[in-house]
Structure 1
């Protein structure tokens, strides 16, 4: 059953009751990574295996995301700053226990000159959901690292 989540702003990335952040360095410029994140939505399933489909909505101001396990998110893009930040809030989902959620992708220059990608999942939900997500941190991190490896290979010339 789909549920409407609480509307949150950009500050939620820093104030959410639960924040899971992961970082990876890629060998491609951050401008190219931003384009893959914000503009090449149909390609997400090619590099992020947890995602089966991403469709832009509202002329690019929103997204509809289907996950491989049957979950879905309807999202609103909150920030799209080329080569720096791509952030979206989840407005509706069928994930149980969720009250509010956003994902924040920050891009910086890595020491090698490529892109340093920091992905933060900011979540408010039931105690059970927060516990499950904390226990699943290692798996979420592994999924992120795998996605970044695949994205890096996909974007290299």
Structure 2
């Protein structure tokens, strides 16, 4: 059963007790990457294998997301800056021990492509924080795999 999380703002990205930051480059330009993140919400399962379902909610101001293993998130978009940044706060979830979470995607030009930096800023019980720290490598691998898959998807997509 999903429960309400602590409502935090975008500043939480820099102040969260636990921050996981990953970066990768893709060959698509920032505007194309941004569109995949922010506009094609339902396309996320096609490139981020940890996501099994994603749908826009609240007229695009939020999202409803389901992950592998049955974790669900109800999110509110807290930053939508085309070709630069996309961020959302998790408002409710059934993830055990999670108390607050903001995910931020920063996009910067890198030659003809994009450097994507994903920050996973979280707070939770000591057990949650321990498990997330221990799982850092798995989360990082999932991100890198997702970026390779997104790169292939955007490269194959017609302009």
TM-score with structure 1 length normalisation? Answer: 0.98
1:66 is the counterpart of 2:78: no
DSSP-derived class of the 2:102 partner: strand
Partner Cα separation in structure 2 for residue 93 and residue 133 of structure 1 = 16
1:97 is the counterpart of 2:84: no
Partner Cα separation in structure 2 for residue 113 and residue 35 of structure 1 = 17
Moved over 2 A (4+): none
1:114 is the counterpart of 2:101: no
Superposition RMSD in Å: 0.7
| Corresponding residue of 1:80 | 80
| Corresponding residue of 1:22 | 22
Partner Cα separation in structure 2 for residue 21 and residue 127 of structure 1 = 20
Deviations 1:104-143, CA, capped at 9 Å, x for gaps: 0000011x32100000000010011000000000000000
What residue ranges of structure 1 are gaps of 5+ in the alignment? none
DSSP-derived class of the 2:70 partner: coil
How far did residue 69 of structure 1 move? 1.1
1:128 is the counterpart of 2:137: no
How far did residue 52 of structure 1 move? 0.5
What residue ranges of structure 2 are gaps of 5+ in the alignment? none
Equivalences, count: 156
TM-score with structure 2 length normalisation? Answer: 0.97
